[in-house]
Amino acid sequence: MMYVNRFMIKQDMPYELRMKVRRYLDYIFESKKDVKVEEGDVFNLLNEGLRDKIHIHLRGRILKKINFICEFGLDFLSELPHYLGKASFVADDFIFMEGDTAESVYYIHIGKVAMIHKSSRTFVIDLNKEKYFGELGLLSGDPRTLSAKSRDFTEVFTLNKTNFELISENYIDAMRAIRKIKDGLDKKDYNPIRMKCYICDMNHLALDCPQ
C-alpha cells in the first residue's frame, strides 16, 4: 500500500481518487490477507473503473504538457485522454519520414528521438523524455518536413489527426482555436501553437533557420 500511496502522490492524483483506490485495495487485501501480494502487482488488483480513472488522470497530465492543446478548452481536453494511443520503437526505427503524410502528434514517455533532415543528411536535435513532436503536421495537414528516428528503446503516446478533428467538431472553443491556428500557419506564424525553431528558439521552422 505504501508503494501505491507514493505513486499516487507523486502523480498528483486528486485526493478523492486516491481515497477510492485505498478503500478498494483495503478491501482486496483484507479478503486476501492469507495470500502474499507483490507491490508490483497491486494495480492489477484494481477494478476496471479505477484503473480507467487512473489512466485518464495520467494521460490528461501528459496532454497538458502539449502546450497548444490547452487553448482548446477544458471540455475538449477532458475527452482527449480516451483517445491517446501508445507506440514503441527500438533503436534506429523511423517513427516517420520527411514527406510522409502527417497522422499524429507524439509525446516521448521513455527514450530519445532524433529529428533529422535525411535529404541533406543534417542532424537537427535530440528530443528527450517529456518532449513532443509532430504537432505541425497534425494541425496543418502538410507533409512532414523532418524525419523522426528512435535513438534507443522509445515509448511514445500518440494522438492521431482523425480523432483530434472528430472530437473538436463537438466543441465550439476547439473549432475556434483550430481556425486561429490554421490562419496563423498560412502566414507562417507558429506562435498560436507555441512552436519554436529547434535550433535558435525563434518563431520559424528549423529548415528555415538562418543559423
pLDDT in tens, 111-152: 999 999 988 888 999 999 999 999 887 787 788 989 999 998
Q: Are 158 and 84 in contact (CB under 8 A)?
A: yes
Residue type, 207: L
Contact by Cβ (8 Å): 135, 148? no
3-state secondary structure of 116: strand
Q: Are 211 and 198 in contact (CB under 8 A)?
A: no
Q: What is the pLDDT of residue 128?
A: 95
Q: Give yes or no for a contact between 87 and 105, defined as CB atoms under 8 angstroms apart.
A: no
Give, in order, the Cα–Cα distances in Å from 172 to each of 20, 51, 71, 164, 185: 34, 31, 12, 14, 20
Q: Is pLDDT above 60 for 36?
A: no
Can you spell out the DSSP letters for 56-75? Answer: HHHHHHHHHTSGGGGGG-HH
Cross-strand pairs, 107: 132, 157
Set out the domains of the chain in order of their start, with CATH numbers: 2-46 (no CATH), 74-208 (2.60.120.10)
Q: How confident is the prediction for the chain on average, in pLDDT?
A: 81
Query: What is the greatest pairwise CA distance in the chain?
Result: 68
pTM for the structure as a whole? 0.72
> If pLDDT is split at 50, 70 and 90, which confidence band does 30 have?
low
pLDDT band for position 35 (cuts 50, 70, 90): very low
Q: What is the pLDDT of residues 90-111, one digit of tens each?
A: 989 999 999 998 889 999 998 9
User: What's the whole-number mean pLDDT along residues 26-38?
Assistant: 56
Tens of pLDDT, residues 8-26:
777 788 888 888 877 777 7
Q: Are 102 and 142 in contact (CB under 8 A)?
A: yes
> Which of 74, 51, 53 has its CA nearest to residue 63?
74
- Burial class of residue 55 in the structure, from the number of CB atoms within 10 Å of its CB (0-12 exposed, 13-18 middle, 19+ buried): middle
Q: How far apart are CA 58 and CA 207, in angstroms?
A: 34
Rounded distance, CA 132 to CA 137, Å?
Answer: 13
- Strands 132-133 and 104-110 turn out to be antiparallel
DSSP H or E stretch at residue 174? helix 172-186
The fraction of the chain above a pLDDT of 90, given in percent, is 22
pLDDT beyond 60 at 165: yes
**What's the burial of 130, exposed, middle or buried (CB within 10 Å: 0-12/13-18/19+)?**
exposed
